Amino acid sequence: MESLNYLLPLVWFAILALFLFMYVMLDGFDLGVGILSLTSSSEERRSVLMTSLSNVWDANATWLILMGGSLFGSFPLAYSTILNALYIPIMIMILGLVVRTVSFEFRENSRRKLFWNWAFGVGSFVATLGQGFALAGVIEGIHVDASGHFIGSTWDWFNWRSVVVALTLIQGYVLIGSCYLIMKTTGSLQETHYKTAKIAAITTLIGAIAITTVTPIFSIFARNRLFDKPFIYVFSAIPILGVILVILLLRSLAKKREVTPFIYTILIFLLTFVGLALVVFPYIIPPSVTIFDAAASPSSLVFMLTFIGFLIPIMLFYNVYNYFVFRGKITGN
């Protein structure tokens, strides 16, 4: 029984990490395309961007719902505490997602598309901004009492560092959105997104360097973890690998590759994700509450695991099948 108390929270931490990564990767380019739609110079170009999402975006967003439900069931203490601490950024994210969803559907049948075009782009931007602030709030740490309940201020998540994190996440989503559009478009529209991808790669790198430099200075928790052995060797390698991947990405963009920029961008996201997971682990509410403190009862975790064990392969198959069926270029026609 004691080994189950140790093993089950680890398994659920890995499952939540998978859900979060799938969401960031898939809905990341989705939101990035939405933000890029704000810069489209014509209705025809904007229609191509929207059409590239029309058959995949519902499946992309499903991972967020799955992650929220799983967090509630597997780590209920973390769910309630994080929701209390990050209520405003989470509400900003939900508001943005609702606006973009409604505007996407209404735009399809509207004769006057201008309002819904802007609503979709602004909704995508606002949703990403909320996610960035929430991410920064977790990195900064959440103040809790001895029982793990939130005791901080409503605005703990908001400072200049959280603004940098949010802006960097926006740039990251624009980068992966641009790389997705390179694969889905042709001609002058594809050329435009080679340029937006290059700009976003550089601005994302600048933001990542700023966050990597500033976080250990202001966060004792992050500083202790980054400079502890043997983590210091891993955390020394991650920035080097990140810069190498950005260089490879820029070279592939310069050579007008269509698929490899998207692959390099996913690898950059994965590397960043692994780095963040190593900084946080084993805490689920940094820097006080571990996954073992916040886990639900073993019987609940086993029951949920049985359900999720069937659902994960179905979800992965559905995503792969979806992209296979709707593969290929999008044109104005």
Residue type, 224: N
Q: Reply yes or no on whether the pLDDT at 81 is more than 70.
A: yes
Give the confidence band of 129 by pLDDT, cuts at 50, 70, 90. Answer: very high
- The predicted model gives 170-198 an average pLDDT of 95
pLDDT 10s digits, 144-156: 988 889 998 989 9
Q: Reply yes or no on whether the pLDDT at 333 is more than 70.
A: no
Sequence-distant (6+) residues with CB within 8 A of 98 are 123
pLDDT at position 146 = 87
- The predicted model gives 149-172 an average pLDDT of 93
Closest residue by Cα to residue 134 from 172, 181, 169, 179: 169
Q: Can you tell me whether residue 61 is helix, strand or coil?
A: helix
Quick one: how far is CA 196 from the chain centroid?
Answer: 19
Which two three-digit tokens encode residue 10? 């680890």
Give the confidence band of 176 by pLDDT, cuts at 50, 70, 90. Answer: very high
Sequence-distant (6+) residues with CB within 8 A of 172 are 28, 32, 200, 204, 207, 269
Strands, E, within the chain: which ranges?
A: 283-285, 289-290
Give the confidence band of 1 by pLDDT, cuts at 50, 70, 90. Answer: low
pLDDT at position 309 = 85
Q: Reply yes or no on whether the pLDDT at 332 is more than 70.
A: no
pTM, entire model? 0.93
pLDDT at position 323 = 87
pLDDT at position 16 = 93
- The predicted model gives 111-115 an average pLDDT of 85
Quick one: how far is CA 11 from the chain centroid?
Answer: 21
Mean confidence (pLDDT) of the chain:
90
pLDDT at position 55 = 80
Q: Can you tell me whether residue 2 is helix, strand or coil?
A: helix
**Is 35 within 8 Å of 124 (Cβ atoms)?**
yes
Which two three-digit tokens encode residue 33? 């395309």
